[in-house]
Amino acid sequence: MARMKFLCDAERCIECNGCVTACKQENEVPWGVNRRRVVTINDGVPGEKSISVACMHCSDAPCMAVCPTDVFYRTEQGVVLHDKDLCIGCGYCFYACPFGAPQFPQEGAFGMRGKMDKCTFCAGGPEKDFSKEEFTKYGSNRLAQGKLPACAEMCATKALLAGDADTVADIFRQRVVKRGKGSEVWGWGTAYGKPDNPKAQPPQGGKS
Amino acid sequence: MRTTGRVLVAGIAMLAVGIVSGCGERSQVVEYKQGKYQGKTDSNPWDSAPGASLYTTSKWTGGDKASWESAIRTRSQGQNEYNRTE
């Protein structure tokens, strides 16, 4: 197994926000915190594209690099997680993340930053599996139940794919070949590395 | 009489050591090491046996990484409707 990844197919996403709702419900995420959200490019313009964004569980995660208290760790499956007990809520990870994944609950009378909260790929955190502490701090641990993240499994159009990168890539490749378009995944270069030929242009007259 | 005295002295000495060690100072802050994860260790998802949680449908052997990966791979293919419909 390679590593766990998300992939959002902009050709299929219909901006229903089902993934956002599924994540909120599954992990009982507090008000004001969105581990996942849907971003629409050219909203209202014909041909608009929507994409579901959360933590991309980067291979070289900037949040890990900037954290002054080193709360981040990467699991064997490539999922980037963090220990909330050590988080000081400084917000460096928020500024470093290109996807806006780290979220901070507004706590206290003066809206002080709480401990950072982000997508866990439904893998819980550094607490005993299925314990109350794990669920309260990090949410559901679906991976330990042999399940995939709730957002992807709930996606009605299967625009949002999750799982082993090889498997996800196979599914997406088959999809692109069948429909004959839409292979240019938004954010691919950032999440998976730069293409072999960065000067390559999409085919003229392509529909995607 | 002499033996009783020795036992008493030894007991008092042990008690004194216990009391003094209770006054020892322990570090109250986390000592950070640059670039290394400082938090608690996490368990692997395949450590728990299927059925440890309610509504678990995937089947694997508890502690067996390969079988868990196989279960996840099978589950992942559920996202491919071309496989489900053809």
Higher-scoring residue by pLDDT: B68, B51: B68
Chain-chain contact of A167 with B77 (C-beta, under 8 angstroms) = yes
Decide if A58 contacts A191 (C-beta within 8 A). yes
pLDDT of A50-97, one tens digit each?
Answer: 999 999 998 889 999 999 999 999 999 999 999 999 999 999 999 999
Q: What are phi and psi of A62, to 5 degrees?
A: -65, -30
Q: What are phi and psi of A18, to 5 degrees?
A: -65, -35
In tens, the pLDDT along A128-164 reads 999 999 999 999 999 999 999 999 999 999 999 999 9
CA gap B86, B79 in Å, rounded:
13
The pair of structure tokens assigned to A183 is: 């292979």
pLDDT at A201: 65
Tally Cβ neighbours within 10 Å of residue A16: 16
Look at residue A156 in the predicted model and tell me its pLDDT: 95
> Is pLDDT of A110 > 90?
no
pLDDT digits (tens, 9 = 90+) for A158-206: 999 999 999 999 999 999 888 887 777 765 665 566 666 667 665 565 5
Cβ–Cβ of B73/A148 closer than 8 Å? no
Other beta carbons less than 10 A from residue A198's beta carbon: 7
pTM of the model: 0.80
With a threshold of 0.85, tell me whether the complex ipTM lies above it. Answer: no
Residue A161 to residues A38, A56, A157, A166, A184: CA-CA distances in angstroms?
Answer: 14, 12, 10, 12, 15
Residue whose tokens read 């991976």 = A143
Chain A residues in contact with B47 (beta carbon < 8 A): 129, 144
What pLDDT score does A208 carry?
Answer: 45
Closest CB from A86, A147, A148 relative to B30: A86
Write the CB contacts of A73 (distance below 8 Å, at least 6 apart in sequence): A80, A81, A82, A83, A126, B37, B39, B42
Look up residue B41 and give its two tokens: 């260790």
Residues contacting residue A141 through CB under 8 Å, at least 6 positions apart: A122, A123, A124, A129, A130, A134, A135, B45, B53
Give the integer Cα–Cα distance in Å for B26 and B24.
6
Q: Using the predicted structure, report yes or no on whether residue B30 has a pLDDT greater than 80.
A: no
Q: What pLDDT does residue A157 have?
A: 95
Q: Which residues of A touch B53 (CB under 8 A)?
A: 130, 141, 144-145
Do residue B82 and residue A178 have CB atoms under 8 angstroms apart? Answer: yes
CB-CB under 8 Å, B59 with A126? no
Say whether pLDDT at A21 is over 50. yes
In order of A48, A49, A159, A191, the CA distances from A206 in angstroms are 15, 15, 20, 24
**Class of residue A38 by CB neighbours under 10 A (exposed 0-12, middle 13-18, buried 19+):** buried
Interface mutation target, options A129, A135, A175, chain B, most CBs of B under 10 Å: A129
- CA-based nearest residue in chain A for residue B84: A171
Rg of the Cα atoms in chain A? 18
